[in-house]
Amino acid sequence: MEIYYTIIVFMYGLLLGSFYNVVGYRLPNNISIVKPGSFCPKCKHELKWYELVPVFSFLIQGGKCRKCKCKISLFYPFIELTTGILFAISYLLFGFSLNFFIAILASSFLVIVIVSDFNYLIISDEVTLTFSILSILFQLVLSGWELALSSVLYGSFLFILMYVVMLIGSKIMNEEALGGGDVKLMFFVGTVLNVINPINVLDILTYASFTNGFFELFLSSCLALPFAFLSRILKKGRAIPFGPFILLSLVIMFFISFDFFDFIKLFTN
């Protein structure tokens, strides 16, 4: 039964992944995500349903448009496959639970931001807002108002913290250190981290609450570093987006239920 559900969840991931390709490409360009239907970016040939089957259509057509034979970017099936795999891992780790839904939410957000931030250096506010609301809603429905409320507080806390970091950073370096999109992302990050180990409302201003947020950003920087280094060598001056790494480290921390405060206690006790 487990393998059966894993395959179903994986299939849903593939399907949603192909939708996330559309969302990630169209929203930053202000194109509706519903109309028109998917089309070949080169010859504008509108795609039939059998040309839209995730991964399989790409393989059967040999990675080419059926009409103009232009090459289709490997990025599309990569995004679909990544979504499917992340969904399957979420199910295998958490079963059908609150954590499963939060995990697929964070994975979905990661995939959309990979598409839009890597291509356009933009994270749409609509997407950030939608995922933040969904995270709180899932927690409200599947756990209760206590968790939802403390997640709102922790999300707001990380958002304000990041905003202050951005202000100080831009004063010191005299240029934009972090994008506004990355700052808004932190509310969502806070609501997800809070599910791993919900913070007590009274503890919100103690050092216990800083640790996970700071560790998350530290991990994001570590993951981004090799890419920043590579892009320096390959293409001079091209800014590398930070958003995908913030969400990648969030997904990693959530998958392994990593709590930095507990981690420290291992060494101090």
What are 7's two structure tokens?
Answer: 């395959």
The enclosing H or E element of 206 equals none
Q: Does 164 bind Zn ion (CB under 5 A)?
A: no
Q: List the one residue from 33, 43, 141, 228 that touches Zn ion (CB under 5 A).
A: 43
Does the N-terminal peptide bond of residue 244 adopt cis geometry, omega within 30 degrees of 0?
no
Residue 40 binds Zn ion, judged by CB under 5 A: yes
Q: Which residues contact 130 (CB under 8 A, 6 or more apart)?
A: none
Q: Residue 26 or residue 45: which is nearer to Zn ion going by CB?
A: 45
Answer yes or no whether residue 42 interacts with Zn ion by CB under 5 A: yes
Give Rg (Cα) of the chain. 20
Q: Which sign, positive or negative, has the C-alpha torsion 186, 192, 193, 197?
A: positive
Q: How many residues bind Zn ion (CB under 5 A)?
A: 7
| Residue span binding Zn ion (CB under 5 A) among the ranges 33-41, 49-57, 92-100, 182-190 | 33-41
Nearer to Zn ion, 40 or 140 (CB): 40
**What is the nearest approach in angstroms of Zn ion to the Cβ of residue 69?**
7
Residue 166 phi/psi, 5-degree rounding, is: -65, -45
Beta bridge partners of 39: 46
Q: Tell me, residue by residue from 44 to 83, as one string, x for binding to Zn ion by CB under 5 A and - for no binding.
A: -x-------------------x-xx---------------
Minimum distance, C-beta of residue 72 to Zn ion, in the bound complex (Å): 8
Which is nearer to Zn ion, 44 or 232 (by Cβ)? 44
Angstrom distance (rounded) from CA 90 to CA 179: 29
Q: Which residues bind Zn ion (CB under 5 A)?
A: 40, 42-43, 45, 65, 67-68
